[in-house]
Amino acid sequence: MALLETTGLTASYGDFQALFGVDITVGIGETIAIIGANGAGKTTLMRSISGVLANAAGSILYRDEPIGALPAPDILARGIAMVPEGRKLFPSLSVEENLLIGRYGRKVDGPWTLDSIFALFPILKERRHNPSTALSGGQQQMVAIGRALMSNPEVLLCDEISLGLAPVVVRDIYAAFPRIRETGASIVIVEQDIAQALKVADRVYCMMEGRVTLSGAAADLSRDDIHKAYFGTEHHELA
């Protein structure tokens, strides 16, 4: 059963149309990766689902209920949390305060508390009283992920969490994902690092110019298929 499903999703910025009928489904406990080049529409898709971008048309169903018209706070309250592109931490607040902000939008008991976030990313415990601006890029990304987890989400949307980070740091961050999956959450990862996406995801969607150009199980996609979908114009759909 699909937990989250978009059908014919379109979105525009003024006169500029950025999404042209995007269909994706996310199952319970499933990890999905959305890949695609700069400007493909990945962030627009994430912002449409999370309600940050309000002008999306088409259908977004969550637990079989339409959520496309709901404002962002309501979507978070229902259990869809986003780790936004560029992290968007509160620079004047400490690490711990940034994490606690994640509780306000959805006060639901679950596996994620300050303590379990600190167990997931121990460096954040050491740095809990530092301003978020004093942290490295990778540590800031951990705070952004932790903040989203503090709402005990059922769906975690992650937009380019590895962007600009050294490979060893990316590895540390992705090392947390098996634990996040264990909680039963569904995860949607936007990722330009295709190898990383294939490693972590059950299924992959490739987008180009506002459309899905390839979708299938990560294990079934060849490098060739992905290359064509990423840069070319052909549409492939794998069973």
Ligand X SMILES: Nc1ncnc2c1ncn2[C@@H]1O[C@H](COP(=O)(O)OP(=O)(O)OP(=O)(O)O)[C@@H](O)[C@H]1O
Residues of the shown chain interacting with ligand X in the complex, contacts defined by CB under 6 A: 13, 16, 18, 36, 38-44, 85, 192
Return d(Cα 161, Cα 60) in angstroms, integer: 24
Query: Nearest approach, Cβ of 55 to ligand X (angstroms)?
Result: 11
- Cα atoms found within 13 Å of the Cα of residue 100, Cβ hemisphere only: 7
Residue placing its CB nearer to ligand X in the complex, 19 or 124: 19
Residue placing its CB nearer to ligand X in the complex, 34 or 142: 34
Q: What is the 3-state secondary structure (H, E, C) of 70-87?
A: CCHHHHHHHCEEEECCCC
Choosing among ligand X, Mg ion, none, which partner's interface includes residue 239 (Cβ < 5 to 8 Å by kind)?
none
Q: Is 41 left (phi over 0), alpha (psi -120 to 50) or beta?
A: left
By CB under 5 A, tell whether 50 contacts Mg ion.
no
How far CA 98 is from CA of 79, 149, 164, in Å, comes to 19, 12, 21
In the bound complex, which residue of the shown chain has the CB atom lying closest to Mg ion?
43
Q: Is the distance from CB of 84 to CB of 159 less than 8 angstroms? A: yes
Rg (CA), the chain: 17
Residue placing its CB nearer to ligand X in the complex, 13 or 231: 13
Query: Nearest approach, Cβ of 212 to Mg ion (angstroms)?
Result: 16
Query: Nearest approach, Cβ of 123 to Mg ion (angstroms)?
Result: 26
Q: Are strands 2-13 and 57-62 parallel, antiparallel or unpaired?
A: antiparallel
Residue placing its CB nearer to ligand X in the complex, 23 or 85: 85
Residue placing its CB nearer to ligand X in the complex, 20 or 101: 20
Chain-centre distance for alpha carbon 190: 6
Query: Nearest approach, Cβ of 160 to ligand X (angstroms)?
Result: 6
**Which residues ranging from 80 to 109 are in contact with Mg ion (CB under 5 A)?**
85
Interface with Mg ion (CB under 5 A), residue from 43, 141, 152, 186: 43
Query: Nearest approach, Cβ of 42 to ligand X (angstroms)?
Result: 3
Query: Nearest approach, Cβ of 48 to ligand X (angstroms)?
Result: 9
H or E element that contains 32: strand 31-35
Residue placing its CB nearer to ligand X in the complex, 8 or 178: 8
> Which residues, at least 6 apart from 210, have a Cβ–Cβ distance to it below 8 Å?
17, 18, 19, 20, 22, 40, 41, 44
Choosing among Mg ion, ligand X, none, which partner's interface includes residue 39 (Cβ < 5 to 8 Å by kind)?
ligand X
Binding-site ranges for Mg ion (CB under 5 A): 42-43, 85
